[in-house]
């Protein structure tokens, strides 16, 4: 917005400047950490892993006090109408978001009582068969009373693009036991502004939207973004159904059923906090407000399929900014947070989730793959992908190229080979034949879609279609797309050349190049049935990789990320009828899409099952159970592999490392009974920050309202179920504390192994841990040779009663 010349306090004159959104943090503690002493207000602080009692008069009165202070500061500095306050943050951080000019932001920085002023930055989305793949129906759901009790009374909050409440995955009647009132959740339900019907139904227990920053920035369009929790994108409905969608929902498209969909915790409640939008993603000010509200309302789990577009402009460290500080407050309040690792793989240091209090989730390819083939008239069989029925068996069809069946010169305005406009193609020449189309950059950019190709071919009466990829950029990802008629995408350029050569040789033309006779023939196979692979799971090509970084100079952190691997490739789940995020699924009820966005809600749903069984466990305990019981072996018994680029830029498989998968692929049944856990609380997180070199203690206090403690000595001593040392000089001893959460005493044998450049020892070699008791052990790492690369290993604790706990170890030896 433009602000004309106005006389403000301090007689400051702002001349036609553009306002921006800033997040301001204030002196004075937020509700979660306030210990009393401010104007007679009594303490509201909670212990680590304890929920905020937002019904308490102490909490509500202190909240009003903080908001009044925010308003007073703005009112003293600026003339009314020259600024707009968007949110007051009171529960997890003390501050506010405001739409002000850069000069006004500078005045705020200098104002008494202000600790930091951060210009807002954008975030983006990090875009079924998996319950069976993960063993939930047979090994996990029965332990909680069956699928109709799996996740009972656990509330999962989704910071995403909203929800399509009319989808059967979210129907409250699709259950044998009706949903009653929740015993503790206090969130509200917005109504659809057009129908006046609530978005909630018992299954969906809360639904709110946050768009003040988006509106102030001029990015919000109510016609497509919806000023309500309605999902105008599809992404939010997809992630919510992965975590907590109803069980046994038929996935039907184009008359074919691809199976039954289910969430990981089908009885869990869904709380929607819409802060992401179709065209622009979202703003951190809106996301922080959504997180703050979710914790206030009493969610148990937060699922975040969102990450920053770019680093915050004013913070030096990855761990300290309004977004991560708010999530630290959420974890202090006992909320487990799962966040997508990011989709920047397979390149190193591409993570967008950094902090130790967050569970960072990488994406795996599961055992289900879809393939198809095109058989040419010369007998050659070309592999491709396409979720479609076959052409009629034992019959071949003529193939006609879109470029050869144009209606005059009408198609020259467009790219006719894209096959997006049936009106530019000659139906008489296409009808009954297979239409050949070209896969251009328009498909990558989103202005063309395979769905539209299928509709064009069907409209023209074609027997099927073939999309030919003639050139491809490294990293282009091809996913199979359901089709209403036989269709296939030939993704291998060499196979595409075989098809083009065959077509050109068999097609006779006159001296002007016009076709005299189409003689190329082919038939399309059945691509509807999946093929199950024993090589699963594998780390997906797009999944972001470590090492983790501690600052935006990309210096390595002494903390392993990602934390864990979960299914994230080709995931069937619910879609919004209004969803426009994927051109191939516009108007559909389900979508098959990939991304770490799909992996994070798998972990959120499985965490709900763990919390249901162990309601008193801290977020760190749940995270530990998931990590220490994960597997680094695939279904064929081999070490996990990761998709990677070869020297020729083709996709190949290499041996995966902890920088690809963290601790390994999630194993839900084992996570319910881990034996030992590595627990941590708020003071441990502060200790990690305080002992990380390069982080200023004053900055830590600004964001956490907590003075530094240095008892941890080194950040690698943070009690997490992994060990990472980025700068190992000579010898370093790392300590870990384990707690026996089993019902009986157990003796554990501790062993270790490491690649040759680093020597590893453990002490003691064995220990007995009573039920409910804790014991400490040490890991000693010594540099043998400096290689300039990380060495990988693991520590294993094997129990006498069958429990097994594994920690990944990564270290790089340095001379000094």
Q: Domain holding 575: CATH number?
A: 3.40.50.200
Residues 439 and 576 occupy one common structural domain: no
Asked which of 501, 532, 563 is the last residue of a domain, the reply is: 532
Q: What's phi and psi for 179, nearest 5 deg?
A: -80, 130
pLDDT for 12 equals 34
Q: What angle do CA 567, 492, 655 make, to 5 degrees?
A: 45
Residues 610 and 752 occupy one common structural domain: no
DSSP for 76-125, please give it. Answer: HHS-TTS-EEEEEE-SSS-EEEEEE-HHHHHHHHHSTTEEEEEE--EEEE
Give how many domains the chain has, as a whole number.
5
pLDDT one-digit tens code per residue, 255-291: 888 888 899 999 999 999 999 998 888 999 999 999 9
Asked which of 477, 510, 532 is the last residue of a domain, the reply is: 532
348 within some domain: yes
Q: Domain holding 727: CATH number?
A: 2.60.40.2310
14 within some domain: no
Residues 185 and 307 occupy one common structural domain: yes
Is residue 780 within a helix (H) or strand (E), and if so which, with residue range? strand 774-783
Q: How far apart are CA 656 and CA 664, in angstroms?
A: 10
pLDDT interval class at 1 (50, 70, 90): very low
Token duo for residue 257 = 């059923």
Q: How far apart are CA 755 and CA 758, in angstroms?
A: 6
What is the C-alpha R_g of the chain?
28
DSSP state of 246: P
Sign of CA dihedral 14, 17, 18, 20: negative
Tell me: pLDDT of 449 over 80.
yes
pLDDT for 134 equals 63
Q: How far apart are CA 88 and CA 792, in angstroms?
A: 45
Residues 185 and 37 occupy one common structural domain: no
- HSE at residue 74, side-chain half, CA atoms within 13 A, is 26
Which of 597, 618, 716, 791 is catalytic? The answer is 597
pTM for the model? 0.91
139 within some domain: no
User: H-type helices in 338-479, by residue range?
Assistant: 427-430, 441-445, 450-459
298 within some domain: yes
581 within some domain: yes
Token duo for residue 803 = 């429990």
650 within some domain: no
DSSP for 485-532, please give it. Answer: S-EEEE--HHHHHHHHHHHHHH-EE-TTS-EEE---EEEE----S-EE
137 within some domain: no
Query: Which residue is listed with tokens 């967050």?
Result: 358
Domain hosting residue 688, numbered range: 681-710
Whether 444 contacts 467, CB under 8 Å: no
Tell me: pLDDT of 193 over 60.
yes
DSSP for 138-164, please give it. Answer: IIIGGGGTSGGGTTTT-EEEEEES-B-
Which of 129, 209, 235, 602 is catalytic? The answer is 235
pLDDT one-digit tens code per residue, 135-167: 666 666 666 666 677 778 899 999 999 999 999
pLDDT one-digit tens code per residue, 285-314: 999 999 999 999 999 999 998 877 655 555
Residues 399 and 340 occupy one common structural domain: no
Among this protein's residues, is 684 annotated catalytic?
Answer: no
Residues 177 and 322 occupy one common structural domain: yes
Residues 457 and 355 occupy one common structural domain: no
Which of 160, 367, 558, 679 is catalytic? The answer is 160
640 within some domain: no
DSSP state of 499: H
Among this protein's residues, is 235 annotated catalytic?
Answer: yes
Across the chain, mean pLDDT equals 89
Residues 272 and 311 occupy one common structural domain: yes
Whether 442 contacts 453, CB under 8 Å: no
Residues 240 and 316 occupy one common structural domain: yes
Q: Domain holding 104: CATH number?
A: 3.30.70
Among this protein's residues, is 160 annotated catalytic?
Answer: yes
Residues 38 and 184 occupy one common structural domain: no
Asked which of 661, 690, 710 is the last residue of a domain, the reply is: 710
Residues 169 and 278 occupy one common structural domain: yes
Residues 206 and 241 occupy one common structural domain: yes
């Amino acid at each position: 917005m433009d602000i004309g010349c106005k006389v403000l306090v301090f007689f400051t004159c702002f001349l036609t400047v553009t306002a921006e959104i800033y997040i301001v943090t204030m002196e004075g503690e937020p509700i979660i950490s306030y210990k009393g002493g401010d104007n007679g207000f009594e303490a509201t602080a909670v212990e680590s892993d304890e929920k905020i009692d937002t019904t308490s008069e102490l909490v509500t009165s202190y909240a009003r006090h903080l908001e009044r202070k925010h308003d007073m500061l703005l009112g003293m500095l600026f003339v009314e109408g020259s600024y707009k306050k968007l949110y007051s943050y009171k529960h997890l951080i003390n501050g506010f978001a405001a739409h002000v000019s850069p000069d006004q932001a500078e005045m705020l920085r200098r104002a008494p009582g202000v600790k930091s002023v951060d210009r807002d930055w954008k975030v983006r989305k990090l875009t079924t068969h998996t319950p069976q793949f993960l063993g939930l129906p047979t090994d996990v759901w029965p332990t909680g009373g069956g699928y109709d009790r799996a996740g009972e009374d656990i509330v999962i909050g989704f910071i995403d693009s909203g929800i399509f409440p009319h989808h059967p995955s979210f129907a409250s009647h699709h259950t044998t036991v009706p949903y009653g009132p929740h015993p503790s959740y206090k969130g509200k339900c917005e109504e659809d502004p057009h129908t006046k019907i609530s978005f909630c139904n018992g299954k969906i227990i809360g639904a709110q939207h946050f768009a003040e920053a988006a509106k102030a920035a001029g990015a919000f369009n109510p016609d497509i973004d919806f000023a309500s929790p309605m999902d105008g994108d599809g992404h939010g409905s997809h992630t919510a159904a992965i975590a907590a969608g109803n069980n046994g929902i038929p996935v039907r498209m184009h008359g074919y059923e691809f199976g039954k969909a289910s969430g990981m915790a089908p009885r869990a409640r869904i709380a929607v906090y819409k802060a992401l939008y179709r065209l622009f993603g979202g703003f951190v000010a809106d996301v922080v407000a959504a997180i703050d509200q979710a914790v206030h309302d009493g969610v148990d789990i937060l699922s975040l399929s969102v990450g920053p577009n770019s680093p915050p402009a004013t913070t030096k460290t990855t761990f300290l900014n309004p977004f991560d500080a708010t999530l630290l407050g959420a974890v202090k309040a006992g909320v487990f947070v799962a966040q997508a690792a990011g989709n920047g793989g397979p390149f190193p240091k591409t993570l967008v989730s950094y902090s130790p209090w967050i569970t960072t989730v990488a994406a795996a390819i599961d055992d289900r793959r879809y393939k198809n083939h095109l058989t040419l008239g010369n007998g050659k069989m070309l592999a491709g992908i396409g979720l479609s029925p076959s052409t009629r068996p034992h019959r071949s069809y003529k193939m006609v190229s879109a470029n050869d069946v144009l209606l005059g010169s009408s198609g020259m305005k467009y790219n006719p080979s894209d096959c997006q406009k049936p009106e530019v193609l000659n139906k008489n020449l296409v009808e009954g034949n297979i239409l050949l189309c070209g896969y251009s950059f328009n498909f990558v950019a989103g202005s063309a879609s395979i769905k539209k190709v299928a509709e064009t071919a069907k409209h023209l009466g074609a027997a099927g279609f073939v999309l030919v990829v003639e050139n491809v950029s490294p990293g282009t990802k091809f996913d199979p797309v359901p089709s209403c008629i036989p269709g296939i995408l030939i993704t291998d350029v060499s196979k595409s050349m075989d098809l083009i050569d065959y077509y050109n040789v068999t097609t006779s033309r006159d001296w002007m190049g016009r076709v005299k006779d189409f003689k190329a023939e082919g038939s399309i196979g059945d691509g509807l049935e999946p093929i199950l692979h024993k090589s699963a799971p594998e780390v997906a090509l797009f999944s972001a990789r470590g090492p983790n970084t501690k600052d935006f100079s990309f210096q390595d952190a002494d903390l392993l990320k990602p934390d864990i691997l979960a299914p994230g490739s080709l995931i069937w789940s619910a879609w919004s009828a209004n969803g426009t995020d994927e051109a191939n699924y516009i108007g559909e009820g389900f979508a098959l899409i990939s991304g770490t966005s799909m992996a994070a809600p798998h972990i959120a749903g499985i965490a709900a099952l763990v919390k249901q069984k162990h309601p008193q466990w801290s977020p760190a305990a749940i995270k530990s159970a998931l990590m220490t019981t994960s597997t680094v072996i695939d279904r064929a018994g081999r070490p996990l592999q990761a998709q990677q680029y070869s020297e020729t830029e083709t996709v190949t498989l290499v041996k995966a490392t902890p920088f690809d998968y963290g601790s390994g692929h999630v194993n839900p049944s084992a996570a319910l009974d881990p034996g030992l856990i590595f627990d941590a609380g708020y003071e441990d997180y502060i200790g990690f920050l305080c002992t990380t070199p390069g982080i200023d203690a004053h900055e830590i206090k600004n964001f956490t309202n907590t003075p530094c403690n240095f008892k941890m000595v080194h950040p690698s001593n943070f009690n997490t179920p992994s060990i990472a040392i980025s700068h190992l000089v000579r010898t370093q001893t790392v300590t870990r504390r384990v707690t026996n959460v089993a019902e009986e005493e157990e003796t554990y044998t501790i062993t270790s192994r490491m690649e040759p450049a680093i020597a590893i020892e453990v002490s003691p070699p064995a220990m007995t841990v009573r039920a409910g008791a804790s014991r400490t052990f040490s890991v000693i790492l010594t540099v043998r040779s400096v290689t300039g690369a990380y060495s990988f290993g693991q520590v294993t604790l094997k129990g006498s009663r069958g429990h097994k706990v594994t920690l990944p170890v990564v270290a790089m030896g340095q001379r000094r």
